[in-house]
Structure 1
Amino acid sequence: MLSARSLFQEIIDNDDSFQLFCSIAASGETQGGWENGRIAALVPESMRGLAPKISRHGADEDKHGRIFDALLKRRHLEPVPVPPETDYTLLLERHGIGLAHEKLRRDEQLSVEDIVVYLSHSRVTEQRAADQMDMLVKHFGDHPELGRAIRMICDDEDNHLAYCHEELLRLAAAGHGRTIHRVLRESALTEIKVYRDVSLAVMGHMGRLLQWPKVKSAALAAGINGMYGYERLGGWHRMVSLRMPERRGALDGPATPAPAF
């Protein structure tokens, strides 16, 4: 019987598939760290109070990248190139989710609307990240090799999501509600397509590495497409709602270290 637990167990038990999984994860986290670091440096003067929180967000993402690299090193494995079709962060940017890298590379101050758009995009993508980490903690939170790493990353992702909720609610109260509503909806409907495509690509690569039979790969593809259908029909709404989080000021203060990694 196919299940998230059995599939992920199969992936982490094989060095080649584990190497690809960690390489994809590390690349995405490191890219997110760079993006947040650049945004923190370019925040408009009127919003400088947000800069430390954005910087903390970027530091957390950098830390996650180092954690996945460390998991590879523990098995004496090196990172491998990330196939472009599995690069979630790259594909989101190509579809207009996230501030363009061309803009972030320039030393020009961002606008207030840029920050509103950035936080709206982040609310959507952090929901996905939090959901994925919750699933991994549920099944592998006590795993001797991965448990501590995924629990640490999961806690950070919950902080990131809480921060997005809190800051977007503050900005909505300041008059940016219409922009936030529009960008959240557009971002969610785009993200679910990108996530489906990336999931199909990742499972395709894993299937070849693990020599899955065609019927198993077909069943997985059907499941991924079925999840996309559910999200397209209404599941995406969980990615756009806003509520005041229980964790207030989740990104106040410095990033938490990960000395074991």
Structure 2
Amino acid sequence: MLSARSLFQEILDDDESFRLFCSIAASGESQGGWENARIAALVPDGERGLAPKITRHGADEDKHGRIFQALLRKRGLTPVPVPPDTDYTMILERHGIGLAHDRLRDRQPLTVEDIVTYLAHSRVTEQRASEQMNLLRRHFADHPDVGRAVRMISGDEDNHLAYCHEELLRFAAAGHGPAIRRTLRACALAEIRVYRDVSLAVMTHMGRILGWPRGRSVLLAAAIHAVYAYERAAGWRRMVSLRMPERRDALGGPATTAPEFA
């Protein structure tokens, strides 16, 4: 029976598919770490109180990248180049979602509007990350090789999502509500398209590595398109709602370490 658990188990059991999975994940997390570090350095004077939280966010992302690299080393594997069509972070940037890397390389401080854009983009992408890691935690929390990594990263992603909700609500109360709603909707609709395209690309690469028959590849592609159809019709709305999280000040302290992976 084809299921999320059986699919990931198959990827996990094969060295080459596991190399690709961890390489893609490590690259995306490391990129997120760099972006957050640059945003923290450029926070405008009136919002300097956010800088430690953004720094913590970036430190968590860097840690996740190191965890995926450590999982590879544990199996005696080395990273592989990330295929461009699977590079979720860079494809989002090319679609104009979030803050452009050219802007982040500049030394000019960001504006409050830039920070709102960053938080709205993060709220959408962290929703996806939290859901994916919750799925893996549900099936693999006790796995001897990846269980601890899944539990740690999933907890961090939940914290990131809570932080985005809380900060966006603060900015909405300060009068930025219309801009937040507009940006969230644009980000969500772009993200679901990118997620569909990246998912199709990843499955194509995995299918080639694992030797999937054409029928299985067609079935998986149909499932990915079905998810997109649902998200395009209504599912995207879960990415744009805002509510005060149970976890308040979720990024208010130092980043947790991962000595068992570092």
- The two structures have a TM-score, normalised by structure 2, of 0.99
Match of 2:142 in 1: 142
- How far apart, in 2, do the equivalents of 1:16 and 1:223 lie? 24
Match of 1:67 in 2: 67
Match of 2:98 in 1: 98
Match of 1:220 in 2: 220
- How far apart, in 2, do the equivalents of 1:150 and 1:70 lie? 13
- How does 1:190-201 map onto structure 2 within 5 Å? 190-201=190-201
- How far apart, in 1, do the equivalents of 2:146 and 2:135 lie? 13
**Counterpart residue identity of residue 148, structure 1:** R
Match of 2:111 in 1: 111
Give the secondary-structure state (helix, strand or coil) at the position aligned to 2:2: coil
**Counterpart residue identity of residue 149, structure 2:** A
- How far apart, in 2, do the equivalents of 1:97 and 1:158 lie? 21
> CA offsets per residue over residues 18-77 of structure 1, 9 Å max, x none?
000000000000000000000000000000000000000000000000000000000010
Q: Does 1:36 pair with 2:36?
A: yes
Q: Does 1:186 pair with 2:186?
A: yes
- How far apart, in 2, do the equivalents of 1:43 and 1:234 lie? 34
The CA deviation at 1:91 is 0.3
Match of 1:248 in 2: 248
Give the secondary-structure state (helix, strand or coil) at the position aligned to 2:199: helix
- How far apart, in 2, do the equivalents of 1:76 and 1:98 lie? 36
**Counterpart residue identity of residue 210, structure 1:** L
The CA deviation at 1:253 is 1.1
- How far apart, in 1, do the equivalents of 2:235 and 2:116 lie? 23
- The two structures have a TM-score, normalised by structure 1, of 1.00
Match of 2:155 in 1: 155
Q: Which runs of 5+ in 1 are unaligned?
A: none
Give the secondary-structure state (helix, strand or coil) at the position aligned to 1:254: coil
- How far apart, in 2, do the equivalents of 1:98 and 1:5 lie? 32
- How far apart, in 2, do the equivalents of 1:57 and 1:98 lie? 15
Question: Once superposed, what is the RMSD of the aligned Cα atoms?
Answer: 0.3
The CA deviation at 1:238 is 0.5
Q: Percent identity?
A: 74
> CA offsets per residue over residues 189-227 of structure 1, 9 Å max, x none?
000000000000000000000000000000000000000
Match of 1:176 in 2: 176
Match of 2:165 in 1: 165
The CA deviation at 1:98 is 1.5
Match of 1:27 in 2: 27
The CA deviation at 1:97 is 1.2
Match of 1:238 in 2: 238
The CA deviation at 1:260 is 0.2
- How far apart, in 1, do the equivalents of 2:103 and 2:186 lie? 20
Q: Which runs of 5+ in 2 are unaligned?
A: none
**Counterpart residue identity of residue 184, structure 1:** L
